[in-house]
Amino acid sequence: MARTTIHDIAKELHTTAATVSRALNDHPSISAATKETVKATALRLNYQHNRAASSLRSGKTYVIGVLIPSAEVSFFGSVIHGIEKIAKSQGYNVLLFQTNEQYEDEVQGVQTLLQSNVDGIIASISKETIQYDHFLEVKRRDIPLILFDRSLEGLDVPSVMINDYKGAFMATEHLIEQGFTRIAHISGPQHISIFHERLKGYVDALAAHGMKIDGDLIMYGKVTIDSGRTCAEQLLQLPSPPDAIFAAEDFTALGALQAIKESKWPKPGQIGLVGFANEAFSAYITPSLTTIDQQTALMGEEAAKIFMDLSQKGKKPDLPPQKIVLEPLLVQRESSIKRKPKKKSIP
């Protein structure tokens, strides 16, 4: 019933716990023969390494704390997936803490993870968070801290972001290449940097292709289905309406699609539409939505890899924190296909 310890193994082999410990950890100064018998005996006695004891002594827990707003949001589920995958491959485990997008919970989360002696923390800050005092204790303890997707001004730590500017540029350019000539953009609140970046990408793509920027074609929405619908309705009622819409985000695009479907003109297929995020529904709506994929699982993997780097190097000469910027991916579907105008019988 009682758990087997290294002492039990030592007793069995008439040796000491020190030797058993070294053998199990493949310490270089232990003979191959000893290692073999020790490991065989460990297996026979159904020995399980006790991590609590090990980490109390060594100071390492092989646990990465992951602090996210909510595991229920598919974006974060995907990132966790990537983190855990890499972590596991290096002998680490993932301890999860959800902040529910609340500052108070985030503060408590950092505390909890520190009490658990995590070897590092990978976090995406809550929407409420505007100051970072709670993260300073993490830095003070020299525990690697890596942020993903959402960063915090002033907190100088490694991070993994997606290139929003480029994603928007690609989305817009794709519509241009499809042959659309009046491309509108439904953006989001400009104080949120990702939406500002996406707007810039849109503007620059138009400019790069010698197209005029028309203020009438740029709407500022609220990142919801309803807002996307309202913005699109207004766009369609312009004296000179757009022939394509790039929405800053998939739910906005979905709303825009609803507006298009409800309008007399254009019909879906006569107006190009691109979203951003590659949400779970994007592939299945009608028409399926062309969008920008954010490589969410890869984001987690990269964050975990930065952690591995940091914890292996230990205290390297203070390099500036690594900032990884992931390439967005254009996912081409039906909503951005430009229908060739039917040949009119012109003599």
Partner DNA sequence: CTGAAAGCGCTTACAG
Site size toward DNA, by CB under 7 A: 31
Q: How far is CA 94 from CA 189, 209, 312, in A?
A: 34, 46, 18
Strands 329-331, 291-293: pairing is antiparallel
3-state secondary structure of 49: coil
Task: Confirm if 180 and 145 have CB atoms less than 8 A apart.
Answer: no
Min separation Cβ 310 and DNA, Å: 19
- Provide the 10 A C-beta neighbour count for residue 141: 10
Site size toward a second copy, by CB under 8 A: 50
Q: Which residues, including other chains, have CB under 8 Å from residue 309's CB and lie 6 or more apart? A: 322
Residues 43-62 as x/- pattern, contact with a second copy by CB under 8 A: ---x-xxxxxx-xx----x-
Q: Name which of residues 93 to 112 contact a second copy (CB under 8 A).
A: 93-98, 111-112
Instruction: Please tell me the distance from the alpha carbon of residue 38 to that of residue 40, in angstroms, as a whole number.
Output: 5
Instruction: Pick the binder of DNA from 40, 44, 58, 74 (CB under 7 A).
Output: 58
3-state secondary structure of 121: strand
Residues 297-336 as x/- pattern, contact with a second copy by CB under 8 A: x---------------------------------------
Instruction: Please tell me the distance from the alpha carbon of residue 131 to that of residue 140, in angstroms, as a whole number.
Output: 16
Residues 21-50 as x/- pattern, contact with DNA by CB under 7 A: xx-xx-x-xxxxxx------------xxxx
Query: With respect to a second copy, which residue has the nearer C-beta, 176 or 254?
Result: 254
Query: With respect to a second copy, which residue has the nearer C-beta, 81 or 127?
Result: 81
Min separation Cβ 23 and DNA, Å: 7
Query: With respect to a second copy, which residue has the nearer C-beta, 265 or 284?
Result: 284
Min separation Cβ 88 and a second copy, Å: 7
* 18 near DNA (CB under 7 A): yes
Instruction: Give 43: exposed, middle or buried? Use CB within 10 Å, 0-12, 13-18, 19+.
Output: exposed
Which residue, 65, 75, 117, is CA-closest to 96?
65
DSSP string, 233-285: HHHHTSSS--SEEEESSHHHHHHHHHHHHHSSSSPBTTBEEE-SB--TTTTTS
Chain positions contacting DNA, by CB under 7 A: 2-3, 5-7, 14-19, 21-22, 24-25, 27, 29-34, 47-50, 53-54, 56-58
Chain positions contacting a second copy, by CB under 8 A: 3, 46, 48-53, 55-56, 61, 63, 66, 70-74, 76-78, 80-81, 84-85, 88, 93-98, 111-112, 114-117, 137, 141, 254, 261, 279-281, 283-286, 297
